[in-house]
Amino acid sequence: MSRRISFRGLIEDSEQEMIPLQTNNGLTGYRIVKFECMQDGFGNSEMVIKIYKTDQAGNIDNTIDFSDNRLLAACMISGSSSAEANPEDRSIIFDNEIFNQNIYITAAVSSSADPTNYYIELEQMKLDLNEQTVATLKDIRNVGAE
């Protein structure tokens, strides 16, 4: 049986937040089912919010690289107080990969941005021993890829 859990927050430029998901036995898995971002108000804002499987401290940027196997999701927003000059556009990307460790959210601006809200919804599921082993080995390999 699976259930959904959610996290939300406000993140600023060059910041990273950890979502604690790790358990002692690793038999709980997660999958991202929703990831949305929104400016904290009207004004000029260009921000990239990403979710990673591994700690990105010292490596926070606004480049989205889908070939990075540590990347779980990305959200790019741009907004302007003058919608004609810079209409708001959002791109939300989801990855159906199952993970069983902590995840990390990063934020980086392109030019300027106020803090940005994020909302993450995860599907939580029980893993059998084989699924747990695969998820844990992937996480170990990803840490080595940093």
What are the DSSP calls for 80-119, one per residue?
-SSTTTS--EEEEE-----B-S-EEEEEEESS----EEEE
φ, ψ for residue 133, nearest 5 deg: -65, -45
Give the number of other Cβ atoms within 10 Å of residue 72's Cβ.
24
| pLDDT attached to residue 83 | 57
Query: Measured at the alpha carbon of residue 6, what is the angle toward residues 101 and 38, in degrees to the nearest 5?
Result: 110
Q: Which residue has the tokens 């979502």?
A: 19
* Among 87, 79, 85, residue whose Cα is nearest residue 109: 79
| pLDDT attached to residue 89 | 63
| pLDDT attached to residue 134 | 86
Amino acid identity, residue 13? D
Domains and CATH numbers, the chain: 3-144 (2.60.120)
Per residue in 59-103, pLDDT (tens digit) is 999 999 999 989 999 998 887 666 555 555 676 777 788 999 999
Mean pLDDT of 114-128: 93
Amino acid identity, residue 17? E
* Among 138, 117, 145, residue whose Cα is nearest residue 36: 117
Burial class (CB in 10 A: 0-12, 13-18, 19+), 41: exposed
Per residue in 3-44, pLDDT (tens digit) is 999 999 999 999 999 999 998 999 999 999 999 998 888 777
Q: Specify the pTM.
A: 0.88
Mean pLDDT of 127-139: 85
